[in-house]
Amino acid sequence: MSRPLVVVNLKTYETAHGASAENLVKAIASVETNARMVVAVSAFDLSAVVNAAPNLEVWCQHLDPVGFGSYTGWLHPSTAVERGASGTLINHAEHKVSIEHVAMLLDAVPEGFTVCACAADIDEARALTALQPDYVAVEPPELIGGDISVTTADPAIVSGTAAAVREISEQVGILCGAGVKNGADVATAIELGTIGVLLASGVTKATNPKEIIEDLVSSL
């Protein structure tokens, strides 16, 4: 768990979907770093992104704990694996689910498939950690997409989450996100007890995303 992790969530930004997503992940993959780089992509773009950047780790933005059969509109974990996904986000602030959904998903995914559960606060992080996902990422919803990093606006929620998670598990990795945009934000996140960051607009809206990624990992 010692290797720093940087997860870039492409969401559904106009600059990060379809052909734009393929170009963006190529730029991310071109950066030389010791950090573990991951992109979380739309189900529509999964196969194309995997093919565009075969050496880059690709996660889904969401999955559902369903089996094969009559599940119109749901996202099946096995299909994601077959299309090249190696992990998924779950319970992001923009796609909340129940704690039962997260628990069932953890039972549904194959061994070695990474699950990063997102939490809005320390209490939710504590509840999710009890389920033993691979990572818990704390992201205060009011700071997501903003100009001020959580590490500056509310460092206590980051350090508090790190402490709460460690009270329950030594295995669950800790991430933080919301407003993270540069290497100083990432360095502070590590100092506050995380193993890395989850971010989006700081990269997806950048004129030169490669330059931004290089800055983000500069202290790692």
**Interval 26-64: pLDDT, tens:** 999 999 999 999 999 999 999 999 999 999 999 999 999
2 pLDDT exceeds 80? no
Q: Tell me phi and psi for residue 156, to 5 degrees.
A: -65, -30
Q: What is d(CA 96, CA 89) in angstroms, rounded to the nearest whole number?
A: 11
Reduce the DSSP state of residue 219 to 3 states and report it.
coil
CATH number of 5-216: 3.20.20.70
Question: What is the domain partition of the chain in residue ranges?
Answer: 5-216
8 Å CB contact between 189 and 7: no
Convert 137-163 into a string of H (helix), E (strand) and C (coil).
Answer: EECCHHHCCCCCCHHHHCHHHHHHHHH
219 pLDDT exceeds 90? no
* Orientation of helix 183-191 relative to helix 209-216, angle to 10°: 30
| Amino acid in the structure at residue 135 | Y
pLDDT of residue 205: 93
**Interval 10-24: pLDDT, tens:** 999 999 999 999 999
Exposed, middle or buried: residue 156 (CB in 10 Å: 0-12, 13-18, 19+)? exposed
pLDDT, mean of residues 105-130: 98
pLDDT of residue 146: 85
Token digits for 194?
Answer: 């995380």
Instruction: Tell me the residue ranges of DSSP E strands in the chain.
Output: 5-9, 36-41, 57-60, 87-90, 114-119, 135-138, 173-177, 196-199
Of 14, 92, 111, 167, the catalytic one is: 92
**Interval 171-216: pLDDT, tens:** 999 999 999 999 999 999 999 999 999 999 999 999 999 999 999 9
DSSP state of 200: S
The answer to whether residue 139 is catalytic is yes
8 Å CB contact between 25 and 45: no
Q: What is d(CA 122, CA 139) in angstroms, rounded to the nearest whole number?
A: 10
pLDDT of residue 147: 84
Of 17, 57, 76, 139, the catalytic one is: 139
Q: What is d(CA 206, CA 62) in angstroms, rounded to the nearest whole number?
A: 24
The answer to whether residue 92 is catalytic is yes
Averaged pLDDT of the chain: 96
Q: What is d(CA 119, CA 199) in angstroms, rounded to the nearest whole number?
A: 14
pTM: 0.96
pLDDT band at 220 (very low <50, low <70, confident <90, very high): confident
- Percent of the chain past pLDDT 90, that is, above it, reads 95
Helix ranges (DSSP H) in 54-120: 77-82, 99-108
1 pLDDT exceeds 60? no
